[in-house]
Structure 1
Amino acid sequence: IIVILPLLLSLQEKLNEIVDQIRTGREEETKRNKQLFHGTPVTTEKKAQSDAELFEITKRQMKEKEEAGTNKLSGKQLFETDHNLDTSDIQFLEDAGNNVEVDESLFQEMDDLELEGDEDGPGYSPADPESDSGD
């Protein structure tokens, strides 16, 4: 027993050191995680500075695009600037000789359609509040 007691005490000390190291490591990891998720508080000055920086970056990028000649207009911008686009589809059809075929079998009369949930009756149209069939 006398030989085993010092051995057990040294083993207990070593285990206590290992447990303390593990506990310290976990506490440090928890602190790091809290710092990551906490971040820095946003003040009005920081927000204004960030907005100004973002504006400058966007302005610089737009200027670079213009200088590179890759400034493409959106569809809306093209439509607003080129009024020939208003009639381009009509012109295309006229150039094709109006050889557009329409398969009328793809269309049905609205009365023939059976819609689920048609609680308002056959004469009801949501676009026309006067068409309420319940009156």
Structure 2
Amino acid sequence: MSEFADEQRDEIEALESIYSEEINFLGDSPHCFTIPVKTEDYDEDEGEGRLVLFKFTFTKKYPSEEPLLEVEESENIDDEHLDELVAHLKEQLTENLGMPVVFTIVTAAIEWLGDKNDQIKRDIEAAAKKIKDLEEEEERKKLEGTKVTIESFLSWKAGFDEERLGKKADVIKGSKLTGRELFMRDKSLNDSDIKFLEQAGDTAVTVDESLFEDLEDLDLEEDSEEDPDWKPGDDSD
């Protein structure tokens, strides 16, 4: 038994030298103490970084037996990650059975916690970027307007024309129509729409419906008294 006691005492002296400002001794029969493990960015006041406070207790036959390892407290680390860390350290205890192991365990914990901290940061940044990309995509769709194909455009335009014509009956002045009526009746305009869409092929195009809203404001009506011989379709000077 004195052999184990000597080994334990030697290890305690070494640990006190290494972790002089962080190790906290709770008892010496058996030897019991805590050592904190934290990430490089840990800041208690700012609430940043991560910390785990481990409690070690030597058994009578340590280091031929594993020491008791417990988590006294933790900050900014969830239970799932904490369980993963403890399981990792338990493996280290088993692999190093028969040797002074506290320094090895603390070093492994620091490395694991640092790697997990970096991964968590990357996950948070990726999630934030995904949300930002989705918001930008929604905004882009709003700015693009409504995308239509040939079929959907013609269907929409037929309804649009029917609605417009239904609001205002045809008015014939003398022997000719007003400029706006000619615009609404001119079949070549429909043909131009079709040609435009056929040139686009299957590629979706955007339509700004507001361009059609001001048709009633267009001053296209000709004064019949200025040119009594004018006929629809006559473009000559």
The answer, yes or no, to whether TM exceeds 0.5 is no
Normalising by structure 1, report the TM-score.
Answer: 0.35
More helix by share: 1
Normalising by structure 2, report the TM-score.
Answer: 0.23
Whose relative contact order is higher, 1 or 2, with alpha carbons under 8 Å and at least 6 apart?
2
